Amino acid sequence: MAATAPLANAAAASDVNLYGYLSWRVEKVWDEPALDEAGETVKADADREITLPSFNVMLQYALDDRFKVFVNLDGEEAEDVSVANLWGEYQHNQYLNVRLGKTYRRFGLYNEMLDAVPTYIGIEAPELFDGDHLLISRTTLAMVHGWVPLGDGELRYSWSTDNGEGGPNDDNVPMGFDLRYDWGLGNYRVGISGYTSNGDTTSDVDLGEGSPNSGVLPWMAADDFYIIGAYGELNRDGWQLQAAYWHASHDAERDPASVVTVIQNAGVNAAQLDRFLLDPDGPVTEANVDVDGDYDVDTWYLRGGYSFMTRRGEVVPYVQWDYYENPETIESKTWGGDAEAGLADDGEFSKATVGVVFRPSPDIAMKLDASMHIQEFNGSTERYPEIRFDVSYIFGR
């Protein structure tokens, strides 16, 4: 099975290590449900889409035995280049390391490794890291981490903080943590991760500017929330098995003017209208908006694959099951929603996936998988398929 170490921990053969990842993808969705003017369910195929979802150039430089810096440039779609990571780290000893800058937070199994597409089984990220409905922003600005030997393994910790999802706030000190135990020469891992906003915060995007890159929806005037989750992984005799569960609880207040704008422009369904208004049969006015926006988000996944070698390379068939529930979101991405959970009557959907990875060399991965989306829509259980093909490369290592 290919290595799944975090990107930031890539070992340098010299003081400077320059490397990167590139991914090319084509995908197609059939029979997506929608409503016609009469309120009846109709289905249509989405356009085939070819993308460059991942292009990252990374540089790690060791100043000496204790200090290092790391840069990760993201050129998604080979267009605008942004800085995904930029940090410096002081390594005091195994127990205490201090990292300052823009870094991926240590949160579950995948957050630190999603850019390294060739290294893991599957094509799409677990739903908590789906760009249309992130549970939490992927980066933080300060992190302390380390490890201690414990029994037959190692107990690793991290603690992080930053400005919060909505930007600087003198009243809040948001905090995230991760605690994981590895044993059996790295073959087994269990862990927990969590986050608290420690007070009211807001979204990182304005209403009408798309889906947020954080866990706060753009029609909220204030949102005090926490996240807790647990995960486990087994790697043994060619098998890789993973499981995780996450719960986010939002103590939120809706902004009446924003909710009116959403209802008038985003095409919300009956269940969403019932949540947003005190009287769903009444007028769409600020006075009729239910400002109590408390809600919970739950998501979990099961993933498994088996690796074996052939004369032409490594083959890894895999299966995945993802579940996600968010009753507050809407379908329109433009207005801050999510086309999967927001499409459903109840904000819930499941996704079953089967696929295969073929690696003709350790630096190239070709992945093919098919998913079935399952959700309640317009009073009925709807299923619609999706197929993806992804080719990804590692360069410079």
> Rounded CA gap, 233 and 235, in Å?
7
Is 382 within the bounds of a domain? yes
pLDDT digits (tens, 9 = 90+) for 261-296: 999 999 999 999 999 999 999 999 999 999 999 999
Strands 16-29 and 49-62: antiparallel
Nearest to 265 by CA among 185, 350, 208: 208
Q: Which of 9-18, 55-64, 159-168, 254-263 has the lowest mean pLDDT?
A: 9-18
Q: Which residues of 343-362 are buried (b: 16+ CB within 10 A; e: fewer)?
A: bbbebbbebebebebbbeee
pLDDT digits (tens, 9 = 90+) for 191-234: 999 999 999 999 999 999 999 999 999 999 999 999 999 999 99
pLDDT at 298: 98
- CA 177 to chain centroid, in Å, comes to 17
- Domain region containing 55: 7-255+291-395
Residue 18 has pLDDT above 70, yes or no: yes
Is 268 within the bounds of a domain? no
309 Cβ contact partners less than 8 Å away, ≥ 6 residues apart: 315
Is 262 within the bounds of a domain? no
pLDDT at 132: 87
State the DSSP string of 90-109. EE-SSS-EEEEEEEE---TT
CATH of residue 209's domain is: 2.40.160.10
Q: How many domains does the chain have?
A: 1
Is 368 within the bounds of a domain? yes
pLDDT digits (tens, 9 = 90+) for 102-122: 999 999 999 999 999 999 999
Q: What is the mean pLDDT of the chain?
A: 94
pLDDT at 397: 72
Is 201 within the bounds of a domain? yes
Is 385 within the bounds of a domain? yes
pLDDT digits (tens, 9 = 90+) for 25-71: 999 999 999 988 888 999 999 999 999 999 999 999 999 999 999 99
Is 1 within the bounds of a domain? no
Residue 3 has pLDDT above 60, yes or no: no
pLDDT digits (tens, 9 = 90+) for 120-132: 999 999 999 998 8
Is 283 within the bounds of a domain? no
The encoded tokens of residue 192 equal 């927990």
Q: CA distances (Å), 317 to each of 106, 114, 120, 375, in order?
A: 28, 19, 12, 26
Residue 366 has pLDDT above 50, yes or no: yes
Grade residue 14 by pLDDT with cuts at 50, 70 and 90: low
Q: Tell me whether residue 186 is exposed, middle or buried, using C-beta atoms within 10 angstroms of its C-beta: 0 to 12, 13 to 18, 19 or more.
A: middle
Residue 11 has pLDDT above 80, yes or no: no
Q: Which of 73-77, 84-88, 313-317, 370-374 has the lowest mean pLDDT?
A: 73-77
Residue 325 has pLDDT above 90, yes or no: yes
pLDDT at 2: 45
- CA 394 to chain centroid, in Å, comes to 21
395 Cβ contact partners less than 8 Å away, ≥ 6 residues apart: 19, 20, 21, 22, 363
CB contact at 8 A, 95 and 71:
no
